[in-house]
Chains A and B, each alone.
Chain A
Amino acid sequence: MTDLPDHMSPTRSFQGLILALHNYWADKGCAVLQPYDMEVGAGTFHPATTLRALGPKPWKAAYVQPSRRPSDGRYGENPNRLQHYYQYQVILKPNPSNLQELYLGSLKAIGLDPLLHDVRFVEDDWESPTLGAWGLGWECWCDGMEVSQFTYFQQVCGIECSPVAGELTYGLERLAMYVQGVDNVYELNFNGREGEEKISYGDVFLQAEQEYSRHNFEFADTAMLHRHFIDAEKECQALLAAGAPGASANQMLHKCVFPAYDQCIKASHVFNLLDARGVISVTERQSYILRVRTLAKACGEAFLLTDAGGINFGSEAA
């Protein structure tokens, strides 16, 4: 780390921060994955977390996930709120016994010295009603600011986790604003260069924030979104049925889980868009959440019937 040029430093550039985390977690044995190529509300939705958290097979992965929260759009006018932002996600299964130490090591790697900054683990239990998931853990505070979420998954897709996975989620923009000492997200230095060569976060995303805010709140076609929700729900169920064990002779495994799960993700994002457009009433809201959860549960159960889900885990070990 020490021989990095200034513009690569995690305290000078947004991408430097991401690269430092990639280096750190790659060194700890994680598969460094790329973002999932679909719209999701949080890094947890990436199948590398949701599905891989299930079943007995050990797993270690780290990746950046662009996350979309349509109702958080502020037309680029709020210095802290974005409808599209980045999460850095790490999942370690089973969680190693020194996961807290590993996490603190990652903070050091991005320039936060725990003898200079007050790092604290403050109770915060995590729950995702749409994924049927919950876990216990903390908000990790650095000088009073929440910089990460630290969770020991107990249940995902309504299924008890065995083993338990540890999940770390870093809010990258917030962390970068902190280490760069910037108060407005759009002023973040993205590429670490100065003067003419500098690319800021605003250069990359400001226009997109304005346009997507219009889309999310004003322009999105709600009738079409309703149809898409229903289509995704049906397709998810159809794919799960088509790939189910026993659909053909001697078939023990489920043969179509990842594609079905994509439809579940899609339904979830469409629901978020409908919600941002303000066309979902309070009572309807509950029922939408329940419908997505039902899909997630079915996908989780199907995943356990696959190789990655560990259906052959015992026999492999033997």
Chain B
Amino acid sequence: MPDLLLELRSEEIPARMQRKAAGDLKKLVTDALVEAGLTYEGAREYWTPRRLTLDVRGLTARSADQREEIKGPSTKAPEQAVQGFLRKAGLSSVAEAQVVSDPKKGDFYLAVLSRPGRAAEEVIAAVMPGIIRNFPWPKSMRWGAASMPKGARFGGVDGKGSESLRWVRPLQSIVCVFGPEHDETQVIPFEIDGLVAGNVTYGHRFHAPEPITVRRFDDYVTSLEKAKVMLDAERRKDVILHDSRDLAFANGLELVEDEGLLEEVSGLVEWPHVLMGEFEQDYLEIPTEIIRLTIKTNQKCFVARLQGEERLSNRFILVSNIEAKDGGKEIIHGNGKVVRARLSDAKHFWTRDQGNLPDLQELEASAKTFALDLKKPLDQRMAKLDALNVTFHAKLGTQGQRVARIRSLAAKLAEMIHADAKLVDRAVVLAKADLRTEAVGEFPELQGLMGRRYAALQGEDASVAAAVEDHYKPQGPSDRVPDDKVSITVALADKLDTLTGFWAIDEKPTGSKDPYALRRAALGVVRILLECNVRLNLLPVLQAAMPGDAGAPTVSPMSVEGSEKAQALADNSYINETFPVVDPSARTVEDLLSFFHDRLKVYLRDQGARHDIIDAVLTPEADDLLMVARRAEALTAFITSEEGRNLLAGTKRAVQLLAAEEKKGTVVADGVSEELLKLDAEKALWSAIKAASGEATEAIAKEDFRSAMEALAKLRAPVDRFFEDVLVNDEDTAVRANRLALLKAIREATATVADFSKIAG
């Protein structure tokens, strides 16, 4: 079985696009081969900054012969219909068609087309140009003489204008060799815009600029390796990771690992060579996160910490693309200079953020609104944020108005959660202040974290400083959930304000689109409530938080500042409209509650809960999510016990019998008549039901779901005995009706805990 080797060599492909492009190449090529009737045993894609490579093994040499029949119209059909059939079948005259008789329809035409199988080479040559021309790059370009207008020629190349080949960067050569595993291979020389596929590639740009002739994948990889190109990105990552760890270790340090950076760096080099540089100790007074991000974002280098410590060292690890003649001295020297210059900028931001803003007198009104102390740097930044009228969202007002809303919601929540009201208020007014700091302007991902640093530096209470960072948490399913009550309160207020706001202006997530990360916000609320054991009835809270409900804020007339920072902060659209008309109706609130229910289901399922059990306990108006989760937990434990399984079976049987009767139109009485109870098993069941439902109801009222389940568990034996000893269909209709009422009583008793009919099994 022959193999296929394909390489598309280009100028440097952006690192972030390489992995997906190689995957797309594999899918497009193998799909096209299969579509053409070929099969293959396996295919694997590779990539470097300068090439996408595909290795397809065990291709069939030919596709099978194919026969196709196309039914035509009746032989009596009008000429037009016959012509249409001939065109469709690709025949030149009716003489080429067969005539077939059908007892019902009469004679009709039939075209029998037989397509002989095609050689794999032919298929490959036919499909490749289309795949390359229509390759799904996120951004592509034209280049060179082929982009001359049509009809013009330059350097022997015909211009193709806007139809010239597009690729992510200029495509330089194509390798396409095909052949059996142990025999001679051949080139499949398809052509695209003057580029002809061959068997020649090139190695490392600087170390091995000579051409390399390849025969198949094995010698291709070996030759590239000799020419200082490591084809497999996973191997490059591995080499970078291990060499970096080793180099750090040898210097008494520990690499700060970063998968995203590792992936990116592996896409910037064909021959990774790890080196270590350093910067002055003085820069270590800048917060760790700023140092790490400065070095990562701008220089694509790793940082290292002291072994066994959180503190960073003054070393950084860089990955070069060459084995330099001087062992890397010049490269280390050069990178060190740039890192120092960047850190010097970062230090500048860090220091300036701790200083006073100019024109403090202009911030007095804002300071008053938020009870800010203009002697403190972070307070000044919040006042500035408000004074600038920076837009949060065109329909939801400014950042200042948003903070005001969060503030009033947080005050209500603080009472319910029993958090310190003063600390909560202080945390809220400082929570967004760092959006005006230079450090966050430079690295937006540091929002919250920088605020916490600056809050601690100006002597805020530890819970306030923590809440400034933690009110953004948790950001997703694996992020940390805050545990301090002040943080919990501000985090809930922030998220609930966002959710009610976007619900009020009808900007809900749809399908895969969730630009404001509302699913993440709702999941955050769910996680906080459940993981911090917070009891909260959401309905009244959502109602109160819904903007436009009471005292809807109005947007003051536009005031604009020409600062570039203001622009960096928001989407630079200043609003000059009044607060929008919103829908404060109960339906919006209900709709949002059901969105929380969806997030809760997803969360509980991820925790391993059965969805039938969640459905059995989740009623549409349930707004205390913690209680829903507790109930589901208790029910799960119960249902998996033997008692529970049997009671479920008995209850289901009762429910089924009842359903059958109710379908027939039988009206089943609500009460059981004790006089009509004849058999012991009936009497025992009735007294058990009375006792159990009383106990269960009482336990539910105390939210003690375990005891409620235990009470129900006592029903198991009487229910089982009832179905063994008692025939519901008694000849006496009064007895029969009474027994049905008894079944109904089982259903009612279990319903105090959950809707058993929704539970599977």
A-side residues, CB < 8 A to B, are: 56, 58, 80, 94-97, 100, 104, 113-123, 125, 135-138, 142-145, 152, 154, 160-164, 166, 178, 183, 278-286, 313-314, 317
Q: Which of B455-463, B558-566, B612-620 is found at the contact surface with chain A?
A: B558-566
Query: Which residues of B have CB within 8 Å of A283?
Result: 560, 572-574
With A116-B325, A118-B320: A94-B147 Cβ-Cβ less than 8 Å: yes
Q: In the complex, what distance in Å separates the CA atom of A272 from the CA atom of B335? A: 33
Query: Does the CB pair A282–B206 fall under 8 Å?
Result: no
Judge whether B580 is part of the interface by a CB distance below 8 angstroms: no
Judge whether B169 is part of the interface by a CB distance below 8 angstroms: yes
Query: Does the CB pair B147–A97 fall under 8 Å?
Result: no
Given contacts A94-B147, A283-B560, 9 further A-B contacts (CB under 8 A): A121-B12, A143-B330, A144-B331, A145-B334, A152-B143, A163-B147, A281-B561, A282-B567, A282-B574
Query: Which residues of A have CB within 8 Å of B139?
Result: 125, 136
B-side residues, CB < 8 A to A, are: 11-12, 14-16, 49, 139-149, 151-155, 159, 161-162, 168-170, 172, 205-207, 268-269, 299-301, 318, 320-322, 324-326, 330-331, 333-335, 337-339, 341, 560-563, 566-567, 572-574
Which A-B residue pairs are the 8 nearest by beta carbons?
Answer: A143-B334, A123-B14, A144-B335, A121-B12, A118-B320, A281-B560, A163-B147, A164-B147
Q: In the complex, what distance in Å separates the CA atom of A125 from the CA atom of B333? A: 28
Query: Does the CB pair A100–B299 fall under 8 Å?
Result: no
Q: In the complex, what distance in Å separates the CA atom of A156 from the CA atom of B199? A: 38
What's the minimum C-beta distance from B528 to chain A, rounded to whole angstroms? 36
Query: Which residues of A have CB within 8 Å of B14?
Result: 123
What's the minimum C-beta distance from A169 to chain B, rounded to whole angstroms? 17
Query: Does the CB pair B337–A145 fall under 8 Å?
Result: yes
What's the minimum C-beta distance from A175 to chain B, rounded to whole angstroms? 12
Q: In the complex, what distance in Å separates the CA atom of A107 from the CA atom of B162? A: 33
Taking CB as reference atom, which chain B residue is nearest A178? Answer: B334
What's the minimum C-beta distance from A50 to chain B, rounded to whole angstroms? 18
Query: Does the CB pair A317–B152 fall under 8 Å?
Result: yes
Q: In the complex, what distance in Å separates the CA atom of A282 from the CA atom of B338? A: 32
Q: In the complex, what distance in Å separates the CA atom of A178 from the CA atom of B149? A: 41
Query: Does the CB pair B562–A118 fall under 8 Å?
Result: no
Among the listed A144, A281, A317, which residue makes an inter-chain contact with B562, where contact means beta carbons less than 8 Å apart?
A: A281
28 A-B pairs (CB sep. < 8 Å): A58-B154, A97-B172, A115-B206, A116-B324, A117-B330, A118-B324, A119-B321, A121-B11, A121-B49, A122-B12, A122-B268, A123-B14, A136-B140, A137-B169, A138-B12, A145-B335, A145-B337, A152-B169, A154-B141, A154-B142, A163-B147, A164-B141, A166-B143, A278-B562, A280-B562, A281-B560, A282-B574, A285-B562
Query: Which residues of B have CB within 8 Å of A104?
Result: 205
What's the minimum C-beta distance from A33 to chain B, rounded to whole angstroms? 22
What's the minimum C-beta distance from A137 to chain B, rounded to whole angstroms? 8
Query: Which residues of A have CB within 8 Å of B331?
Result: 117-118, 143-144
Query: Which residues of A have CB within 8 Å of B142?
Result: 152, 154, 161, 164
Q: In the complex, what distance in Å separates the CA atom of A286 from the CA atom of B149? A: 34
Q: In the complex, what distance in Å separates the CA atom of A146 from the CA atom of B547? A: 49
What's the minimum C-beta distance from A182 to chain B, rounded to whole angstroms? 10
What total count of A-B pairs have CB within 8 Å?
150
Query: Does the CB pair A144–B338 fall under 8 Å?
Result: yes
Q: In the complex, what distance in Å separates the CA atom of A117 from the CA atom of B333? A: 10
Query: Does the CB pair A143–B335 fall under 8 Å?
Result: yes
Q: In the complex, what distance in Å separates the CA atom of A183 from the CA atom of B298? A: 19
What's the minimum C-beta distance from A12 to chain B, rounded to whole angstroms? 17
Taking CB as reference atom, which chain B residue is nearest A151? Answer: B141
With A152-B143, A281-B560: A115-B207 Cβ-Cβ less than 8 Å: yes
Among the listed A80, A162, A278, A284, which residue makes an inter-chain contact with B149, where contact means beta carbons less than 8 Å apart?
A: A162
Query: Which residues of B have CB within 8 Å of A122?
Result: 12, 268, 300
Query: Does the CB pair B321–A118 fall under 8 Å?
Result: yes
Query: Which residues of B have CB within 8 Å of A282?
Result: 560-562, 566-567, 572, 574
What's the minimum C-beta distance from A179 to chain B, rounded to whole angstroms? 11
Query: Does the CB pair A163–B144 fall under 8 Å?
Result: yes
What's the minimum C-beta distance from A266 to chain B, rounded to whole angstroms? 22
Among the listed B15, B320, B567, which residue makes an inter-chain contact with A123, where contact means beta carbons less than 8 Å apart?
A: B15
Q: In the complex, what distance in Å separates the CA atom of A285 from the CA atom of B560? A: 12
What's the minimum C-beta distance from A248 to chain B, rounded to whole angstroms? 28
What's the minimum C-beta distance from A95 to chain B, rounded to whole angstroms? 6
Query: Does the CB pair B144–A120 fall under 8 Å?
Result: no
Query: Which residues of A have CB within 8 Å of B16?
Result: 123
Query: Does the CB pair A143–B333 fall under 8 Å?
Result: yes
Query: Does the CB pair A94–B567 fall under 8 Å?
Result: no
What's the minimum C-beta distance from B343 to chain A, rounded to whole angstroms? 13
Query: Which residues of B have CB within 8 Å of A137?
Result: 169
Query: Does the CB pair B11–A100 fall under 8 Å?
Result: yes
Query: Does the CB pair B334–A163 fall under 8 Å?
Result: no
What's the minimum C-beta distance from A268 to chain B, rounded to whole angstroms? 18
Query: Which residues of A have CB within 8 Å of B573?
Result: 283
Taking CB as reference atom, which chain B residue is nearest A140? Answer: B12
With A118-B321, A281-B561, A282-B560: A163-B12 Cβ-Cβ less than 8 Å: no
With A123-B14, A136-B139, A282-B567: A162-B161 Cβ-Cβ less than 8 Å: yes
What's the minimum C-beta distance from A126 to chain B, rounded to whole angstroms? 11
What's the minimum C-beta distance from B259 to chain A, rounded to whole angstroms? 19
Among the listed A115, A162, A281, which residue makes an inter-chain contact with B325, where contact means beta carbons less than 8 Å apart?
A: A115
Query: Does the CB pair A144–B301 fall under 8 Å?
Result: yes
What's the minimum C-beta distance from B172 to chain A, rounded to whole angstroms? 7
Query: Does the CB pair B11–A314 fall under 8 Å?
Result: no
Query: Does the CB pair A164–B144 fall under 8 Å?
Result: yes
Query: Does the CB pair B338–A162 fall under 8 Å?
Result: no
What's the minimum C-beta distance from A318 to chain B, rounded to whole angstroms? 9
What's the minimum C-beta distance from A276 to chain B, rounded to whole angstroms? 11
Query: Does the CB pair B141–A152 fall under 8 Å?
Result: yes
Q: In the complex, what distance in Å separates the CA atom of A166 from the CA atom of B143? A: 8
Query: Which residues of A have CB within 8 Å of B152?
Result: 56, 313-314, 317
Query: Which residues of A have CB within 8 Å of B140?
Result: 136
Q: In the complex, what distance in Å separates the CA atom of A149 from the CA atom of B145? A: 21
Query: Does the CB pair B149–A56 fall under 8 Å?
Result: yes
With A116-B330, A125-B139: A152-B170 Cβ-Cβ less than 8 Å: yes
Q: In the complex, what distance in Å separates the CA atom of A95 from the CA atom of B148? A: 10
Query: Which residues of A have CB within 8 Å of B335?
Result: 143-145
